[in-house]
Amino acid sequence: MTSRRVVLGSVLGGTTAAALPGVAQAAPARDLSVAAPRSGRWQLRNRMESDGAWAAFLHGQDLVWQRLPTLWYEGPFLGDGRLGSMVYREPDANSVRFTVQHGEVQDHRPEFGSGWGTARLPVGHLTLDPVGTIAGVDWRLSLWNAELSGVITTDKGTLTLAAFIHDGVFAARVTAGGDEEVRWTFHPEEAISPRKIQEAPPAGYVANPPWTTQTTGVVEQVLQPLVSGGQTATAYRRSGDTLVLSVAHSHPSNTRAGEVSLKKVQRAGSYGTLRSQHTRWWHAFYRKSFVSIPDQRLQSFHWIQLYKVASASRAGGPVMATSGPWLEPTPWPAVWWNLNVQLEYWLIHGSNHLELDSLASTLRQSQEQLVANVPAAYRSDSAGIGRSSDMFANRGVGMPGTGAEVGDLTWALHNAWLSYRHTMDEALLRDTIYPLLRRAINYYWHFLQPGDDGRLHLPSTLSPEYPVVPPKDTNYDLALIRWGCTTLLEVAEHLGVDDALKPRWQEILAKLTPYPVDGNGFMIGADTPYAQSHRHYSHLLMVYPLYLVNWDQPEQRELIEKTVVRWHALTGAHRGYSYTGAASMYAMMGRGDTALSYLKKFFDPTTRYPCRANTHYTEAGPVIETPLSASQSLHDMLCQSWGGVVRVFPAVPESWADVTLHDFRTQGAFLVSAVRSGGVTRFVRVRSLAGEPLVLRHGLPDGRLTAVLDDGRPARTRTTSDGDLAVDLPKGREVLLHVGERPDLVISPVGVSEPGAPWGLP
């Protein structure tokens, strides 16, 4: 496939900034000549191959509690991509709450909007009710086993517990010691949008009916009917020391959910049997990639995010709402498409976990709805989505010229494009990305207007969350239009499609107005400078994550840096993802120390909205995207792949002398392994999964470079005009690169140079 670097580099969007004095220039080319290998075959020595090695490493990343959490963002959390539970003290009671929420449970009345009519709905919660007064806890959330275990101590004795969620079943085993007793209670919750904490229901809204209960043998059920038809059903039973529970949701069927939840609980095996199935999945999950850095707190955080995203999302399941599967009181009980959903999924690519991509599968499954979301006059050739929706992408989008936010589907399709680029899965490209992106760009086309300057201009649209009158020619939309047209042309060529719209896309790229720029950098839009603090980087999408304007273009560097500095100079509105976004942008610049300084702002307890004790994040309610995006910022410091180049250790902070990266997935479907020790990159190994062209910025020190294939023969290489290394690497083959004598090819955790306390409440 044509290099993204070549294609995107030809359409910088018409920015007027030229090369300016004082702008950093590309480093001079190093000696990249390739020496004959010292010896033949080679093999990585992966010390993370055994269960014991993984258990020991992840034990050091676990969350622990020596204090009873009293809020959702302090406690343990469990999930399987649909069913979710958070554990903390029952408010104003001597009990421990286990929330019971589900990503598929929602209302079905779109006439009341996503905040009320198609919002996520609460299910309920369990309480573990000791006889005595709770005196303390000693809990551990094992990442390796995805299981909470520990002891609750009371003035009457102890309750020893273990719990997990697997395949739609919450399982808990509790044994009592001393004079304690095991007492569980399920508390159904009113089926009304959690948005009630912020506002009253809209006019005409009718509350859902009350729940009913029924018992079938030893299984108890709570059945919640809905005004719109359908039901939510929670089934649970106790057997000895074990409780199992399952939730199902159906619409429009009024009985299906009850049947499904009942059968789930009736067929659930013992705790040990369920646990065996559960841990088998998680142990295979973790082995797909490995990252180790010397900052203990940040290293643990990263592994907790992988646990979190796997607990919150699975391909084919519901797209993540702002709270994931853990629903708490919030003004955002739906899926938000103008930043949240995009940031939620970025880390699955590098970590090699495309099995979690419920965003791409939602786009595939929701194509008819995305067409229905645009006004009727445009449905023959267009598609879109409004700012927020339910799990089925049900939300209309406004029209340019009315100040509407119209670019969100195009941005979500960039996520799907990243999934394609990291897998080279042509089915995803052909069946989802191409038809939907074609429609998303068509929607823009209907509203682009020629101006007196001969350029195409866009009438007023909203740059997400910038609080002024929506301008014309917003940079948010101009960047997405350019990316969309460039990608469509590339995909059509790759698929061999002689698309009748190719001249249109070429015309747009040739005539689209330049990005509005002023003395402070990229503006919000035409005649709208960046003049007040803004948490979103919507005006910077062409820089990150689209990389249309990037650091490999020396003439653009001053403009990029000026804009990022200005963005953060105006304070007051910044939130956690403002810092993670800046960290990734500075990582693109190769400034690891600056990137780390911005990333650490997210963890600074003195900021207004810091990362919380259990690594979750809250503003007016839970918002899951920001911690997940912090892991992506870490990825961007360790390995980047954009513009057709794989960059190894592009922005490692000076304090991280030792880093291990193994099977990190990049664009082009490559798996990268690399080790840095003593501040020097020792070796890089790349495996090709698809046979795509490999261009490396490998980060090895100067000297005679050895590049050897997995069969011991020298790899065919050449130095590109930009000083990078192009390697001929067939599908299924590996190449090893190093300088000087072959180093020890060991994959193992690095030593901790910056200790830190465990996450949780240690």
Mean pLDDT across 335-362: 98
> What are the start and end residues of each CATH 2.70.98.50 domain in the chain?
51-286
Reported as a pLDDT band with limits 50, 70 and 90, residue 40 is confident
Give the C-alpha distances (Å, rounded to integers) separating 561 from 448, 482, 543, 549, 575.
30, 21, 10, 11, 20
Does residue 10 register a pLDDT over 90? no
The mean per-residue pLDDT over the stretch 346-370 comes to: 98
SS3 172: strand
Residues 6+ apart with CB under 8 A from 588: 543, 544, 547, 550, 551, 636, 640, 650, 651
The DSSP call for residue 618 is B
What is the SS3 string spanning 369-425?
A: HHHHCCCHHHCCCCCCCCCEECCCCCCCCCCCCCCECCCHHHHHHHHHHHHHHHHCC
pLDDT at residue 469 in the model: 84
Mean pLDDT (the chain, rounded): 94
Q: Around Cβ 543, how many Cβ atoms within 10 Å?
A: 27
Q: What's the rounded mean pLDDT across residues 677-681?
A: 98
Label residue 128 by pLDDT band (50, 70, 90). very high
How far apart, in whole angstroms, are the C-alpha atoms of residue 727 and residue 426? 23
Q: What is the pTM (predicted TM-score) of this model?
A: 0.94
The two three-digit tokens of residue 561, written as one number: 């840096």
Dihedral sign for Cα atoms in the order 405, 406, 408, 411 = negative
pLDDT level of residue 378 (50, 70, 90 thresholds):
very high
pLDDT at 55: 98
Residue scoring higher pLDDT (527 or 34): 527
Express each pLDDT in 599-651 by its tens digit: 999 999 999 899 999 999 999 999 999 999 999 999 999 999 999 999 999 99
Q: Average the pLDDT over 674-678 and give the result.
A: 98
Between 204 and 20, name the one with better pLDDT. Answer: 204
pLDDT tens, residue by residue, 382-408: 999 999 999 999 999 999 999 999 999
704 pLDDT more than 50: yes
**Strand runs labelled E in 571-697:** 639-642, 645-648, 659-666, 670-677, 680-688, 694-697
Residues 44 and 747: beta-carbon distance below 8 Å: yes
pLDDT, tens digit, 9 for 90 and up, residues 532-549: 999 999 999 999 999 999
Is the backbone peptide bond immediately before 545 cis, with ω within 30 degrees of 0?
Answer: yes
User: What is the pLDDT, as a whole number, of residue 18?
Assistant: 31
pLDDT in tens, 258-281: 999 999 999 999 999 999 999 999
Residue ranges of the chain assigned to CATH 2.60.40.1180: 34-48+655-747
Look at residue 379 and tell me whether its pLDDT is greater than 90.
yes
The confidence score (pLDDT) of residue 3 equals: 38
Beta-strand ranges (E) seen in 129-183 are 134-142, 147-154, 157-166, 169-178
Phi, psi of 196, deg, nearest 5:
-60, -20
- The pLDDT, as a whole number, for residue 28 is 36
Look at residue 651 and give its three-state secondary structure: coil
C-beta contacts of 19-27 below 8 A and 24+ residues apart: 19/554, 19/555, 20/555, 20/558, 22/558, 23/554, 23/555, 23/557, 23/558, 24/554, 24/557, 25/554, 26/552, 26/554, 26/722, 26/723, 27/723
* Residue 82 banded pLDDT, cuts 50, 70, 90: very high
Residue 110 identity (one-letter amino acid): P
pLDDT at 91: 97
Q: How far is CA 367 from the centre of its chain?
A: 22
DSSP state for residue 758 in the 8-state scheme: P
pLDDT of residue 12: 35
Residue 468: per-residue pLDDT: 85
* pLDDT band, residue 726 (cuts 50/70/90): very high
- Give CA–CA dist 48/662, Å, rounded: 10
Q: Which amino acid is at 196?
A: K
Whether CATH 1.10.287.10 fits 34-48+655-747: no
SS3 of residue 521 by DSSP? strand
Fold of 51-286: Beta-galactosidase; Chain A, domain 5 (2.70.98)
The Cα 194–Cα 116 span in angstroms is 8
Please report which confidence band the pLDDT of residue 30 belongs to, taking 50, 70 and 90 as the band edges. Answer: very low
3-state DSSP assignment of residue 617? coil
Q: Is the pLDDT of residue 118 over 60?
A: yes
